[in-house]
Structure 1
Amino acid sequence: MKKQLLSRISLALSLIVVILLTGSLIRQPKEVKANVTHSSFTKQNSNNMTEKLGQANTNFGFKLFSQIFAKDGRKNIFVSPSSVAIALQMTYNGAAGSTKQAMAQTLQLQGISLAELNQSQLALTQTLAKIDPKVQLDIANSLWLREGFPFQPEFLQTTEKYYQAKITNLDFKNPNSVKIINDWVSQNTSSKIPKIIDEIDPSSVLFLINAIYFKGNWEKEFFKSATKEQPFTLLNGTRKQHPLMSQRGKYRYSETSEFQAISLPYGSGRLSMYVFLPKPNIKQADFYRNLTAENWQQWMKQFSYREGEIVLPRFKLEYELTLNEALQALGMGVAFQNQANFSNMTPEQVKIDEVKHKTFVEVNEEGTEAAAVTSVAIMPTAALPTEEPFKMVVDRPFFCAIRDNQTGTILFMGSIVDPK
């Protein structure tokens, strides 16, 4: 199968205005409309279900990151577990039998019914959309259907109702279809990810795409005049000069015998970037071995306000990998095989061909911008801290994550070994 036909996930740091395709830009394809309305449920039920889904997504995110790190640990890694989860959860709605069970295990959805999942995802998306007037966070989904191929109406209705997906029929034999899909991707990533496919194989039947865009200025921006060229130590011990930003203030901070950690808030403070710097005597592999969802939850409780100084590198990077092996290692190999069961999606026999992840990120004195695109292509089967002011100098490889402090949702996470 051609790699261009498979799932792709991308991240970018940049401002975005979401513009849907219109007749003034290109010929508008026929869209599938589902006559459905959003169901209502109590605020308490919504909060409980959102919390349950948030925990499932966190568990999945760290397990996925662990698999990626095992393969690419000596390289920069930056992924969006939220984007991967949403794209696969849309796909999960079409699964049945052992395929559904395998995907539930991989996505950590045991104990969550399909109805709870979909209602929770809608509630979570709506909550994140109103996250902070000083922060921009956009989540968009789309389904691109092969014209004339049969799909289950309930599957289409569900993705439109709960994932607010744009659903479009396309003639995959028409070369303009590639441009239509890529235009949607580009528009939802401010052109940082200009395309996700180069061509469409006539046997492709569906692309499920998720896009997440985030832009947030630091609650307290770094002064550019304080940024200095200083040594940054790489994994091999080599030291290179790199711009390191610095500022003093009061921060949520934590320190153990293994690491220093700081929370750098955006906007009004609901969203933060968490930076974990392993101590010099701690091996990278040992730190990431302890980076589990369970430990993460405990670490989040250990932060307290402290006066101190943070020195952080500016960084910008691109990253790309195929997720097939990682997802199969987590238990959903059957979804990629000829015996895959997606009968709740289509009466025809189909499978997932490939899942890819591509990222771009940039952090500077003003703040952070990030976006994620996930495309799933469906194919036919063939130590206790003191109260003294701290100093945290991030001049060696570190871990970072962008987190919603209210729901616990982790939008992005990464291991930065070379900030340039």
Structure 2
Amino acid sequence: MSLALYTCLFCLCTSGLWTAQAVTDEDSSSHRDLAPTNVDFAFNLYQRLVALNSTKNTLISPVSISMALAMLSLSTWGSTQFLQSLGFNLTETSEAEIHQSFQYLNYLLQQSDPGLEMNMGNAIFLLQNLKLKDSFLADIKHYYESEALTIPFEDWTKASQQINRHIKNKTQGRIEHVVSDMDNPATLILVNYIFLKGTWELPFSPENTREEDFQVNDTSTVKVPMMVQSGRIGYFHDSEIPCQLIQMNYVGNGTTFFILPDQGHMDTVIAALNRETIDRWGKLMTPRQMNLYIPKFSVSDTYDLKDVLADVGIKDFFTNQSDFSGTTKDIPMTLTVLHKAMLQLDEGNVLPAATNGTPVHLPSESFTIKFNRPFLLLVFDKFTWSSLMMSKIMNVA
């Protein structure tokens, strides 16, 4: 059973959240640990990055990073240890099965989804005229639809422009800037990128978007465009983890959790995020008539993943002693892994004719929830239960 197939079954069997189509595959049970392992890695990585950026916005795409790192394991004879550091049990699942599962997962995520505009991928840049092995180039193309490009080592300004131009082209202009200055450019740079924008099932009318206050902290408030919606929306007030949350679906497979921690409890909520928490929230979410206020914003972030990956056990890969013998004979090499994520949150592209140009009526007796202070936002693909985006939003101005 592939990662994507099992992941779908996992979410269908363990959560009351979805009634999406079930997928059956009786070929093998050897991949059964891949889906929960991927999700566990996602929350682990997210929590560590948030800790490194406690006062700033944090935005990552865990599934995109997982694919990039799995692809990178093809470059070293130490791939067994590398994949184990990502949480995979290679006594139960072979390396080939892992790459085949990611290949199929990537295929599913890249399929046309009417509600998601998503550009996701990886690109390898070489800062020297190094000869990559044909087997490595074939594998990254076959399993991950990726490629390797050579850039000028002697002119970093020109090299960075080439990298930025390539990613801009791959994302149809959505992501324009990934790299600028780098003190000691590595000989191999892996850029992992994703842009995401969705269309809501229950869309917001632009006519209702208004300027409202967003409380950044105890001493700072900014004006932001606030989208407004009135309707029946999935809601849960957690008495165990101090927060309120709603769930809104995109057209197609995307779904988003907006999580509003109680005042002073942001760190408590982040520490409690795991598979079991999301599963419990999914089961307890109940539609409720409400007036909903969500800020309209675009957020992006770029990370050099070296430090955070060292924290999760992937350290030796970033040293001059790293074994890249599966990639090239020109060793030693140095490695940089950059992750660029961008999320656009707006009213959406599809609006019912009845709401176009018609301000929404906000019943005074309805429950009102405003995301007008720091909150968390998690975006998943319902079909594969992939963590497309995880974010901590501290300021939307």
Q: TM-score band, normalised by the shorter chain?
A: 0.7 to 0.9
CA distance in 1, matches of 2:152, 2:336: 21
| Partner of residue 244, structure 2 | 260
| Partner of residue 355, structure 1 | 337
| 1:100-121 deviation line (CA, Å, top 9, x unaligned) | 41x3244222344211111111
Q: Confirm or deny: 8 A CA contact 2:49 2:308 kept in the other structure.
A: yes
Aligned residue among 212, 232, 235 for 1:230: 212
Matches within 5 A, 1:174-185: 179-185=161-167
TM-score using structure 2 length = 0.78
Describe the shift of the 1:347–1:293 C-alpha distance in structure 2 as closer, same or farther (beyond 3 A): farther
The higher-RCO structure (CA 8 Å, 6+ apart) is 1
Q: Confirm or deny: 8 A CA contact 2:124 2:148 kept in the other structure.
A: yes
Matches within 5 A, 1:161-176: 161-168=142-149, 172=153
Deviation (angstroms), 1:174:
7.8
Aligned residue among 66, 74, 86 for 1:107: 86
Deviation (angstroms), 1:195:
4.2
Q: Confirm or deny: 8 A CA contact 1:60 1:106 kept in the other structure.
A: no
Describe the shift of the 1:323–1:170 C-alpha distance in structure 2 as closer, same or farther (beyond 3 A): closer
Describe the shift of the 1:49–1:297 C-alpha distance in structure 2 as closer, same or farther (beyond 3 A): farther
Report the AA paired with residue 84 of structure 1. Answer: I
- Aligned-residue RMSD, C-alpha: 3.3
Unaligned runs of 5+ in 2: 1-22, 351-364
Deviation (angstroms), 1:52:
4.6
Deviation (angstroms), 1:47:
10
Describe the shift of the 1:173–1:251 C-alpha distance in structure 2 as closer, same or farther (beyond 3 A): same
Describe the shift of the 1:105–1:302 C-alpha distance in structure 2 as closer, same or farther (beyond 3 A): farther
CA distance in 2, matches of 1:315, 1:169: 36
Q: Confirm or deny: 8 A CA contact 2:193 2:341 kept in the other structure.
A: no
Secondary structure of the equivalent of 2:123?
Answer: strand
2:317 maps to 1:335? yes
Aligned residue among 307, 310, 317 for 2:289: 307
| Partner of residue 18, structure 2 | none
The range that moved more, 168-177 or 204-213, is: 168-177
| Partner of residue 56, structure 1 | 37
| Partner of residue 4, structure 2 | none
Describe the shift of the 1:244–1:194 C-alpha distance in structure 2 as closer, same or farther (beyond 3 A): closer
Aligned residue among 389, 392, 395 for 1:412: 389
CA distance in 2, matches of 1:46, 1:164: 25
Q: Confirm or deny: 8 A CA contact 1:315 1:419 kept in the other structure.
A: yes
Describe the shift of the 1:389–1:254 C-alpha distance in structure 2 as closer, same or farther (beyond 3 A): farther
Deviation (angstroms), 1:224:
2.4
CA distance in 2, matches of 1:196, 1:95: 26
| Partner of residue 151, structure 1 | 132
Q: Confirm or deny: 8 A CA contact 2:187 2:334 kept in the other structure.
A: no
| 1:143-193 deviation line (CA, Å, top 9, x unaligned) | 345675343332222111111223445665588665544322111223343
Deviation (angstroms), 1:353:
3.4
2:49 maps to 1:68? yes
Describe the shift of the 1:315–1:181 C-alpha distance in structure 2 as closer, same or farther (beyond 3 A): closer
Report the AA paired with residue 104 of structure 1. Answer: L
CA distance in 1, matches of 2:367, 2:251: 24
Aligned residue among 364, 370, 377 for 1:400: 377
Describe the shift of the 1:345–1:201 C-alpha distance in structure 2 as closer, same or farther (beyond 3 A): farther
Q: Confirm or deny: 8 A CA contact 1:188 1:213 kept in the other structure.
A: no
| Partner of residue 361, structure 2 | none
Q: Confirm or deny: 8 A CA contact 1:244 1:312 kept in the other structure.
A: yes
TM-score using structure 1 length = 0.74
Deviation (angstroms), 1:202:
11
CA distance in 2, matches of 1:321, 1:208: 12
| Partner of residue 90, structure 1 | 71
| Partner of residue 141, structure 2 | 160
Aligned residue among 275, 286, 293 for 2:258: 275
The range that moved more, 290-299 or 254-263, is: 290-299
Secondary structure of the equivalent of 1:395?
Answer: coil
Describe the shift of the 1:58–1:202 C-alpha distance in structure 2 as closer, same or farther (beyond 3 A): closer
Deviation (angstroms), 1:312:
0.9
Report the AA paired with residue 124 of structure 1. Answer: L
CA distance in 1, matches of 2:32, 2:114: 22
CA distance in 2, matches of 1:301, 1:342: 45
2:98 maps to 1:117? yes
CA distance in 1, matches of 2:238, 2:77: 45
Describe the shift of the 1:199–1:222 C-alpha distance in structure 2 as closer, same or farther (beyond 3 A): closer
Secondary structure of the equivalent of 1:155?
Answer: helix
Describe the shift of the 1:48–1:251 C-alpha distance in structure 2 as closer, same or farther (beyond 3 A): farther
Q: Confirm or deny: 8 A CA contact 1:318 1:360 kept in the other structure.
A: yes
Describe the shift of the 1:132–1:318 C-alpha distance in structure 2 as closer, same or farther (beyond 3 A): closer
Aligned residue among 322, 343, 346 for 2:304: 322
| Partner of residue 242, structure 1 | 224
Deviation (angstroms), 1:80:
1.6
Deviation (angstroms), 1:273:
1.9
The range that moved more, 309-318 or 351-360, is: 351-360
CA distance in 2, matches of 1:148, 1:130: 35
